[in-house]
Structure 1
Amino acid sequence: MAGPKDLDPSSSPRALLGAELRHARERQGLSQDQLGQRLFVSGSFIGQLEAGTRRMQAEYARMLDDALGTDDFFQRNCAAAAKSKYPEHFAEAAEAEASATAIREYAPLLIPGLLQTPAYAQAVCRAYQPTAPQQVIDELVAARVDRARLLDDPTEPLLWAVIDESALRRVTGGRAVMAEALRHIAGLAHRGRVIVQVLPFEAGAHAAMQGAVKLMDFEEAPPLVYFEGVGTGRLEDDPEIVRHQRFTYELLTASALRPENSLALIEVVAQDYAHEDHP
């Protein structure tokens, strides 16, 4: 019987790699949990590899080839599936985001990437890398703008963002940039494309004071939570961790302003920036 063929990098290598993994696993008569035990990972992790929501790392590719008797197929092809235009620490999360059916995010310090305008993204990327060549910054901005194209679909994914008031008040890129950025968010909310809540200063202490929260749900894979720091990030699929972060997010939505009041505040702040920029 002929073995699996190398993947075509011009197609969707991660999805094809996941399909081949599912085929090889079922051919061996293994459940996701049984295969996961051989790799010392959870069954849900195997499910995410098969669904293409997680990147296959070289170490797992080698172990899969050993466990499934696929010669070096996964080792040969995981490099093509791992190519990304995003920073290494965020690449897996960005690609999972693209296949999510629902994204819930709390942003404590800046406007979430999916809601950023190009000018705002330019200011953020330049702040992260003040000495980088402009070409590098342009590539980062282009990747961020490309991510936001998933909102071109009129219904999916659901995007529910809780934005800290500090992100509205921090002048990033200048007042004109902030006015445009907030009006962009307001426009998406008016069209019913996103749900946005503002967590006001007056809410005081809250459940996510230690950092950002991003939860992602999928059609055919377990949910994920993404944690991000300065130049670092990791995805978690542990059900207990995901449940805890979901509860944290629910507490945030309870502490935040209602969507209609949040929209009113965003529009007022945008108007203030516009007036201050043009006395």
Structure 2
Amino acid sequence: MVGKRIPKSRTAYGEELKAQREAAGLTQEKLSEMVIMSRTHIAHIEAGRRRPSSDDARRLDQVLGTGGVLTRFLPTLDGKLIADHFEQVALLEQEATMIREYAATLVPGLLQTDAYARAVFGAFFPPKSSEHCDNVIGTRLKRAKILDTPDPPVLWELLDEAVLRRPVGGPAVMAAQLRHIAELGARERVRLHVLPFSVGAHPLMESGLMLLCFDGEPPLAYVEGLYTGALYDDPAMVRNGQTAYALALSDAMSHADSLALIKTVAEEYEDEAR
């Protein structure tokens, strides 16, 4: 990334991948064909701008005959507990200049309070230990610190009305959570839009979506479902995601009206909690 410091672990990993590729006499294009990855993604890994997924690393090991080196020495996330399918996105969030996200049923991780996150993980199946939940929740809350940096990314959150109406953790937890969202929405670089039930069917209703933009690098799209997620750098896939987001956003409430609704629903939960 232009102007971004690249962690040494990712830099070293990229140098090792490049050395292994060149030793095998392969170009980035040829390697991309053999491991079923884009050439751009391989170039980003070699430059230290991207962290390969575990599946990526296993395929690279197999094709390059490295004996598992690229899998064993994947750059770490400093001991953080993040689902395998999301670990690369967690790194990319820190480099993004703009994040646009659609949430279908749950408050997005960057906006969650501690109590809300605990209610979410408390309903997880299979159940996790209290210690595991504490660690995962701590990691999730640390992700949100990018919004408190001197130059945070521009954040657009498109929330389905179901996000506001589903009483995760009960009325007191929801009231505090919606108040927190409203406070974030008052920030200059944060935009909130609610997609009301009255819209009916819309282009994003089948899954969650995150669109990431960077300085000097192509945009990415992350699509998430139950226990899984996929990061796309294919230009056509990213454009489709951007278009679907724009279409859904065009039917959403304005930022001001969305903030007013969020505060109104928070008051309803507060009344219920009394």
TM-score (normalised: structure 1): 0.82
Deviation at 1:158, TM superposition (A): 1.5
Deviation at 1:144, TM superposition (A): 0.6
Deviation at 1:88, TM superposition (A): 1.8
Deviates more, 1:75-84 or 1:112-121: 75-84
CA 1:237 to 1:80, structure 2 compared with 1: closer, same or farther past 3 Å? closer
Deviations 1:35-74 (CA, angstroms, capped at 9, x unpaired): 53464432221233234333253335436856xxxx7896
Separation in 2 of the partners of 1:76 and 1:135?
Answer: 27
Deviation at 1:80, TM superposition (A): 4.0
Separation in 1 of the partners of 2:177 and 2:159?
Answer: 13
**1:119 pairs with 2:115:** yes
Counterpart position of 1:264: 260
CA 1:182 to 1:258, structure 2 compared with 1: closer, same or farther past 3 Å? same
Counterpart position of 1:246: 242
Q: What is the 5 A alignment of 1:66-215?
A: 75=70, 78-81=73-76, 84-129=80-125, 131-215=127-211
List gaps (5 residues or longer) in structure 1: 1-10
The letter of the residue matching 1:179 is A
SS at match of 2:118: helix
Counterpart position of 2:3: none
Separation in 2 of the partners of 1:76 and 1:59?
Answer: 6
Separation in 2 of the partners of 1:54 and 1:84?
Answer: 15
CA 1:159 to 1:12, structure 2 compared with 1: closer, same or farther past 3 Å? farther
Deviation at 1:246, TM superposition (A): 0.5
Identity %: 40
Deviates more, 1:137-146 or 1:76-85: 76-85
Q: Which of the numbers 236, 244, 254 marks the counterpart of 2:232? A: 236
Please tell me the root mean square deviation across aligned C-alpha atoms, in Å. Answer: 2.9
The letter of the residue matching 1:241 is M
Deviation at 1:268, TM superposition (A): 0.9
Contact 1:44 1:221 (8 Å CA) reproduced:
no
Deviations 1:217-261 (CA, angstroms, capped at 9, x unpaired): 223432221121111111111111111010000011101001111
Q: Which of the numbers 33, 44, 51 marks the counterpart of 1:48? A: 44
The letter of the residue matching 2:231 is L
Contact 1:217 1:224 (8 Å CA) reproduced:
yes
The letter of the residue matching 2:222 is Y
The letter of the residue matching 2:57 is A
Separation in 1 of the partners of 2:207 and 2:83?
Answer: 20
Contact 1:108 1:164 (8 Å CA) reproduced:
yes
The letter of the residue matching 1:176 is A
CA 1:32 to 1:61, structure 2 compared with 1: closer, same or farther past 3 Å? closer
CA 1:191 to 1:23, structure 2 compared with 1: closer, same or farther past 3 Å? farther
Contact 1:150 1:157 (8 Å CA) reproduced:
yes
